[in-house]
């Protein structure tokens, strides 16, 4: 992978509303959401994205009805089985972030297996956040870093900074996702429900990112310093 990294993170939201609007059970929305995941992964490298982090299941999502939770776990497992070969063929390296110890054992096993089998992928690093809480990730990193607590060491334990954060479904909050890594992320909120999200939506979000000026606390590069 080149040194230039463009990290896009997506809060894939709106599956339930997508289904409810069609008079379908919520799980139908999650199934349709899996197709949007596939489309997004296919489109990402062509848009210059080298790291893609997708929020698939939050720690707080355990509080949903057991039937929905177990359907989501099954869908995740099925997705891994179906997609790992495609990931290998397309140079996609898969990594899971989040806790593994509470996942159904077969799913935890499948994640490890998919990570091993895709480890040589260099076109796209795909990070799937499952049973994920950013606050807990920060606490874990803090515990691990305690012997050498510098910002660099801490950041390396936490993961790459996010350049562009996208959330679908019109909600405008982080819901415990990548709190540290989003310190200077550009945020794009789209009303599109996740199952309807397509490569044009991704391209539009990237174009919006490119129109923004990131200043990281400094002043605009185009400011005339004589008048500043
Ligand atoms: C996102 O869609 C998927 C997960 C959180 C697993 P939701 O299931 O949150 O859909 P809404 O927000 O209820 O529409
Ligand atoms: C965030 O969405 C988690 C995922 C997309 C996996 P939620 O739908 O769970 O978030 P809230 O409850 O609206 O904040
Ligand atoms: Mg939601």
Q: What is the CATH classification number for the domain harbouring 100? A: 3.40.1180.10
Q: Which of 61, 161, 176, 198 is catalytic?
A: 61
Answer yes or no: is pLDDT of 188 > 70. yes
Please report, rounded to a whole number, the percentage of residues in the chain having pLDDT higher than 70: 99
Evaluate whether residue 100 is within a structural domain.
Answer: yes
Rg (CA), the chain: 18
What would the two tokens of residue 159 be? Answer: 């993961």
Ligand 2, atom 3: closest residue by C-alpha: 58
Q: Which of 13, 131, 163, 201 is catalytic?
A: 13
Please tell me the distance between residue 67's alpha carbon and the centre of ligand 1 in angstroms: 14
Ligand with minimal distance to 58 CA = 2
Q: Please work out whether the CB of residue 57 comes within 6 Å of at least one atom of ligand 1.
A: yes
Answer yes or no: is pLDDT of 2 > 80. no
Evaluate whether residue 216 is within a structural domain.
Answer: no
97-113: average pLDDT: 97
Which H/E stretch holds residue 110?
A: helix 105-117
Q: What single DSSP character describes residue 51?
A: E
What would the two tokens of residue 32 be? Answer: 């349709």
Evaluate whether residue 181 is within a structural domain.
Answer: yes
Range of the domain at 113: 6-211
Residues with CB under 6 A from ligand 2: 11-13, 55-58, 61, 171, 173, 175
Evaluate whether residue 167 is within a structural domain.
Answer: yes
Question: In total, how many domains does the chain have?
Answer: 1
Evaluate whether residue 227 is within a structural domain.
Answer: no
The reported pLDDT for the residue numbered 191 is: 98
Does the annotation count 61 as an active-site position? yes
Q: From the alpha carbon of 171, which atom of ligand 2 is closest?
A: 13
Ligand 2, atom 9: closest residue by C-alpha: 61
Answer yes or no: is pLDDT of 185 > 70. yes
Evaluate whether residue 166 is within a structural domain.
Answer: yes
Answer yes or no: is pLDDT of 134 > 60. yes
What would the two tokens of residue 139 be? Answer: 């606490």
67-92: average pLDDT: 97
The reported pLDDT for the residue numbered 100 is: 97
Evaluate whether residue 21 is within a structural domain.
Answer: yes
What would the two tokens of residue 102 be? Answer: 């509470």
């Amino acid at each position: 992978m080149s040194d230039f990294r463009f990290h896009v993170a997506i809060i894939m939201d709106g599956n339930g509303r997508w289904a409810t609007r069609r008079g379908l059970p919520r799980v139908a929305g999650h199934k349709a959401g899996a197709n949007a995941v596939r489309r997004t992964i296919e489109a990402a490298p062509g848009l210059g994205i080298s790291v893609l982090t997708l929020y698939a299941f939050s720690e707080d999502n355990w509080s949903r009805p057991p039937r929905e939770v177990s359907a989501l776990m099954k869908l995740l497992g099925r997705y891994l089985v179906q997609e790992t070969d495609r990931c290998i063929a397309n140079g996609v390296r898969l990594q899971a972030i989040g806790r593994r110890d509470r996942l159904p054992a077969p799913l935890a096993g499948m994640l490890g297996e998919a990570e091993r089998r895709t480890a040589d992928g260099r076109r796209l690093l795909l990070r799937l956040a499952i049973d994920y809480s950013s606050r807990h990730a920060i606490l874990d990193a803090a515990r691990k870093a305690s012997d050498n607590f510098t910002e660099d060491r801490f950041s390396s334990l936490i993961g790459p900074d996010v350049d562009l954060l996208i959330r679908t479904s019109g909600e405008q909050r982080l819901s415990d996702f990548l709190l540290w890594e989003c310190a200077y992320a550009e945020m794009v909120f789209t009303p599109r429900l996740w199952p309807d999200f397509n490569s044009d939506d991704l391209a539009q979000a990237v174009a919006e990112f490119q129109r923004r000026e990131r200043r990281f606390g400094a002043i605009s590069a185009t400011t005339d310093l004589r008048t500043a």
